[in-house]
């Protein structure tokens, strides 16, 4: 039996539910273990295991299993800021408050499958800011979705690839139609690169607190562990060789065509086009007649935008949703769209703004989009 404030319980269980839902584990079993002064919530599957601690007043050890969805449903129904007593009676679990109010939680017989992990070699520490930066730059939106043709063909694309480069760490994500590459100088990784599933990053983002210091270790084979004071996440890496993305990005010396555009102006026009789109898969066109440049949504929108163009490519067709995603990530005032040739994909980078506080971060990011010229 244990007692806990409903507000504290709701905050943690809501985070657990969000991470489980995004990891496609909302129907999985969750173990609730009350011992000492701590409640431990454990859930997971074959690719991901999560353990979350909560402080509580425990008067008697209590262990039970239910599903993540059932626990979230019953906890969300509790009143706010009430002292909740959780107890077992006749093999049933009850959440009680007040004089005689209660909610019953349905138990399940099976238990969470816990991954066995034995650390090998060195470990590294990350701050929550490092995790936040990866999610802030929306790298997870560039990965291939499990079950799609892209992920089935190249399973490694269903994760974010991390690679140690001695003085810095590179992170890459792609679904074969778009890609993002980021250089991070404040985090370290193991000698062996790894593709960490997108679902793992969702769990990290949802469960870790902003003051977390995360210890990262590896079993030297197929598992990596992220551990903070109250959270443990063990993830299976995606085995196999990640595609070499370096060839798809246009290097400055390779640039044959270069468009320089005000980022916010292009972002506004792209959002206006997306607002007008009613058909899935619609595209937009950027077109220059040599004097003026326009963003065009066929039969719906023509908007003039400012652009400085050097090179032969004066027209291309692009996915507006992907373009908006990239323009939202790059926070610089101006951006550059680069082509190597008529058959190459487009590379999009920010141009450093001397007054930008995030100048270093912005210049360490480059994105790729496939287009039709």
The closest of 186, 193, 196 to 234, measured between CA atoms, is: 196
Radius of gyration of the chain (CA): 25
Compute the distance between CA of residue 235 and CA of residue 249 in angstroms, rounded to an integer.
30
Residues 32 and 85 sit within 8 Å (Cβ to Cβ) = no
Determine the Cα–Cα distance for residues 9 and 32; give it in Å rounded to an integer.
12
- For residue 372, the cross-strand partners are 317
Helix axes 6-22, 198-207, angle to 10 degrees: 170
| pTM to 2 decimal places | 0.89
Beta bridge partners of 54: 39
* pLDDT for the residue 359: 44
C-alpha–C-alpha distance, residues 10 and 144, integer Å = 32
pLDDT tens for the chain, residues 1 to 373 = 999 999 999 999 999 999 999 888 888 999 999 999 999 999 998 899 999 999 999 999 999 999 999 999 999 999 999 999 999 999 999 999 998 999 999 999 988 988 999 999 999 999 988 888 887 778 999 999 988 999 999 999 999 999 999 889 999 999 999 999 999 888 999 999 999 999 999 899 889 888 889 999 999 889 999 999 999 999 999 999 999 988 889 887 889 999 999 999 999 999 999 999 988 889 999 999 989 999 999 999 999 999 999 999 999 999 999 999 999 999 899 999 999 988 889 999 998 765 545 444 545 889 999 888 7
pLDDT of residue 361: 52
Neighbour tally for 351: CB within 10 Å? 15
Distance (Å, whole) CA 1 – CA 61:
6
Using one digit for the tens of pLDDT, what is the confidence trace for 305-340?
999 999 999 999 999 999 999 999 998 999 999 999
Bridge partners of residue 171, in order along the sequence:
162, 182
**Contacts for 47 with CB less than 8 Å, ≥ 6 apart:** 197, 199, 235, 236
Looking at 143-273, which runs of residues are DSSP E strands? Answer: 159-164, 169-174, 178-184, 194-197, 213-218, 223-227, 231-236, 257-262
Cα separation, 44 vs 114, in Å, equals 7
Q: What is the pLDDT of residue 9?
A: 96
> CA separation (Å) from 103 to 75, 78, 107, 108, 198?
9, 8, 13, 16, 35
3-state secondary structure (DSSP) of residue 55: strand
| Number of neighbours of residue 311 by Cβ within 10 angstroms | 12
CA–CA gap between residue 22 and residue 206 (Å, rounded): 9
C-alpha 22/C-alpha 26 separation (Å) is 8
Using DSSP's 3-state secondary structure scheme, residue 235 falls into strand
Q: What percent of the chain has pLDDT over 70?
A: 97
Specify the DSSP element, H or E, that contains 134.
helix 128-136
Asked whether 226 and 134 are in contact (CB, 8 A), the reply is: no
Q: What is the percentage of the chain residues whose pLDDT exceeds 90?
A: 74
């Amino acid at each position: 039996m244990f007692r806990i404030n409903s507000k504290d319980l709701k905050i943690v269980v809501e985070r657990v539910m969000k991470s489980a839902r995004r990891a496609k584990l909302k129907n999985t079993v969750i173990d609730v273990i009350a011992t000492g002064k701590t409640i431990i919530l454990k859930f997971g599957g074959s690719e991901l295991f999560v353990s979350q601690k909560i402080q509580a007043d425990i008067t008697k050890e209590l262990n039970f299993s239910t599903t993540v969805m059932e626990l979230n449903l019953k906890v969300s129904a509790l009143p706010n800021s009430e002292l909740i007593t959780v107890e077992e009676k006749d093999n049933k679990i009850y959440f009680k408050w007040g004089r005689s109010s209660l909610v019953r939680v349905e138990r399940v017989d099976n238990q969470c499958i816990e991954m066995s992990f034995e650390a090998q070699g060195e470990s590294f520490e990350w701050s929550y800011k490092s995790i936040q930066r990866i999610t802030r730059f929306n790298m997870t939106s560039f990965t291939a979705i499990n079950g799609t043709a892209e992920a089935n063909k190249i399973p490694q694309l269903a994760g974010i690839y991390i690679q140690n480069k001695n003085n810095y760490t590179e992170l890459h994500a792609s679904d074969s139609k778009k890609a993002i590459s980021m250089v991070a100088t404040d985090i370290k990784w193991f000698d062996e690169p790894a593709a960490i599933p997108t679902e793992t990053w969702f769990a990290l983002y949802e469960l870790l607190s902003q003051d977390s210091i995360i210890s990262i270790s590896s079993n030297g084979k197929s598992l990596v562990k992220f551990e903070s004071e109250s959270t443990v996440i063990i993830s299976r890496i995606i085995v196999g060789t990640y595609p070499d993305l370096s060839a798809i990005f246009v290097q400055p010396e390779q640039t044959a065509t270069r468009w320089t555009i005000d980022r916010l102006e292009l972002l506004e026009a792209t959002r206006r086009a997306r607002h007008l789109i009613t058909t899935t898969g619609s595209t937009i066109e950027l077109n220059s007649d040599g004097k003026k440049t326009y963003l065009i949504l066929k039969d719906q929108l023509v908007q003039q935008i400012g652009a400085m163009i050097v090179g032969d490519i004066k027209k291309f067709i692009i996915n507006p949703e992907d373009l908006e995603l990239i323009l939202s990530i790059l926070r610089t005032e101006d951006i550059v769209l680069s082509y190597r040739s008529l058959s190459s994909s487009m590379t999009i980078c920010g141009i450093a703004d001397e007054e930008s506080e995030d100048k270093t971060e912005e210049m360490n990011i480059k994105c790729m989009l496939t287009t039709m010229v």
